[in-house]
Amino acid sequence: MKKNTLFILLFAIAPAVLPIAHAQYHFSAQVDDLAKAVEPKVIEWRRHLHQYPELSNREFKTAEYIAQYLRTLDLEVQTGVAHTGVVGILRTGKPGPVVALRADMDGLPVVERVDLPFASKEKSTYQGQNVGVMHACGHDTHVAMLMGAARVLTQMKDQLKGTVVFIFQPAEEGAPPGENGGAKMMVEEGVLKNNKVDVIFGLHINSATEAGSIRYKPGGALAAADRFVITVKGKQTHGSTPWTGVDPVIVAAQIIQGLQFIVSRQTELTKEAAVISVGRIQGGVRNNIIPEEVEMEGTIRTLDKDMQAKLHADIHRTATNIAESMGATAEVEIFKYVPVTYNDPKLTDEMLPIIIATAGRENIILSRAITGAEDFSFFAREVPGLFLFVGGMKPGQDPATAAPHHTPDFVIDESGMLLGVRTLCNLTLDYISRR
């Protein structure tokens, strides 16, 4: 359901919207035809990628699949960027801006539970554990949509100027511990600087937003994400005589409770949202041995730099003091992963008319910031960026019944990908045409 205030806002800017949308009509009409023509291939690509997902920094077959296709478009193709990334470059031969379009490639260590003929049966190893692999966040759709956009824009090359850079990025979900990767590494290797990129656009499918809709948020749109590891050290003993040792399992449980009190009782949530979640806890080898050590790992999500610093300090204090009070010790390590994903307000305002023209005014949703995170933020720190959410939920479905991202039941309605292709193309054409 759309907010009434959004309709008032869009009505107020309608006079500014219409001339721009009309000026781009010849582009939009051709994009619509070409995108519709390539839609069956986009679905085919997505299903292949969904069936054969690969984990972060291990997207070898995915990269080969993408690169092979981009070469058929006569694009300049670079491989092995940030380990497994692929970059396709469309040079028009005419002076103009450089627009980058980005999609992420990696799957997650999740066992798929969705009954699909192209469901993943892939297995891999993650942090020493045998795991299933699934595109449980929609990155397969992102790749397929960008491949479709590359096809459309290549077919419209004579109407373009400047350069379009198609970035297929590995390891958005985070490189394995001890490895570099993702958008940060692509930036470090010069994917933006070497190509003299002026602006970058990205999309993310959303399982709880109706297909045909687009969500946007100027300014800070997604949270900063940090990873923490807490190692609790006690004294190993027999499980039948816990008083002869120090039980790190019990200490870890108390620390987990204490971490939640940081958010619920020590953080000013009326200012910005914040999240501390423990996603992994490991310790012990037998049921009758109290182990010497327990390790837990989790994520911190913040939308404010001061709050981020406060939560880091609070986690250190809480974990070490609880452990000390119970005769154990706790070592806390916090690794900054991604900053806040920031949509340049000026760029957002500039591109809003073509977004409205593409999706329809009634399908545009002005969102609040969310505690999800995206390493697209590293690109957007270097050049103006705009990151949008495109709907991937079956029309008419109750969003409350949609399986969340990163879960075994995550599913996407493939009809939403056509809008993604059209949006990437129209953002590019509109930006280039006015420079």
Positions marked catalytic: 106, 172
Name the H helices within 125-223.
139-155, 182-188
Dihedral, 308, 314, 315, 319 alpha carbons, nearest 10:
180
| Residue 82 near residue 170, CB atoms below 8 Å | yes
Query: What six digits make up the tokens of 47?
Result: 């299903």
**Which candidate, 325, 332, 309, 314, places its Cα nearest to that of 254?**
325
Contact 418, 36 (CB under 8 A): yes
Question: What's the burial of 301, exposed, middle or buried (CB within 10 Å: 0-12/13-18/19+)?
Answer: buried
Closest CA to 358 of 424, 279, 409, 261: 424
CA of 279: how far to CAs of 58, 159, 228, 273, 296, in Å?
22, 49, 10, 19, 8
In the 8-state DSSP scheme, what is residue 430? H
Run of H or E residues at 31: helix 25-51
Rounded to whole angstroms, the Cα distance separating 270 from 262 reads 14
Cβ of 25: how many Cβ atoms within 10 Å?
10
Q: What's the sign of the alpha-carbon dihedral 52, 408, 273, 205?
A: positive
